[in-house]
Amino acid sequence: MCGEKGMKKIIYPGTFDPIHNGHVDIAKRASIIFDELIFVIAENPRKKPLFTTKERKMLVEKSVNDIPNIKVKSTEKLVVEFALGETAVAIIRGLRHVSDFEFEFQMALMNYHLNPDISTMLMIPDEKYIHLNSTVVKEVAELGGDISHYVPKVVGECLNIKFKQ
Percentage of the chain with pLDDT > 70? 96
Q: Is residue 63 among the annotated active site residues? A: no
Q: Is 9 a catalytic residue?
A: no
Specify which residues 92 forms β-bridges with.
121
Residue 165: pLDDT band with limits 50, 70, 90? low
Q: Given 9, 23, 56, 93, which residue is catalytic?
A: 23
Catalytic residue list contains 97? no
Answer yes or no: is pLDDT of 97 > 70: yes
Which stretches does DSSP call E strand in the chain?
9-14, 36-42, 70-75, 90-94, 119-123
3-class SS at 123?
strand
The answer to whether the pTM exceeds 0.85 is yes
Confidence of residue 1 (pLDDT cuts 50, 70, 90): very low
Q: Are the C-beta atoms of residues 117 and 85 closer than 8 Å to each other? A: no
pLDDT, tens digit, for every residue of 23-66?
999 999 999 999 999 999 998 778 889 999 999 999 999 999 99
- Sequence-distant (6+) residues with CB within 8 A of 135 are none
Q: Is 56 annotated in the active site? A: no
What are the residue boundaries of the structural domains of the chain, listed by start?
Answer: 9-131
Look over the chain and give the mean of its residue pLDDT values, rounded to a whole number.
93
Please state which CATH class domain 9-131 belongs to: alpha beta
Vertex 19 angle, CA 14 and 24, to 5° = 95
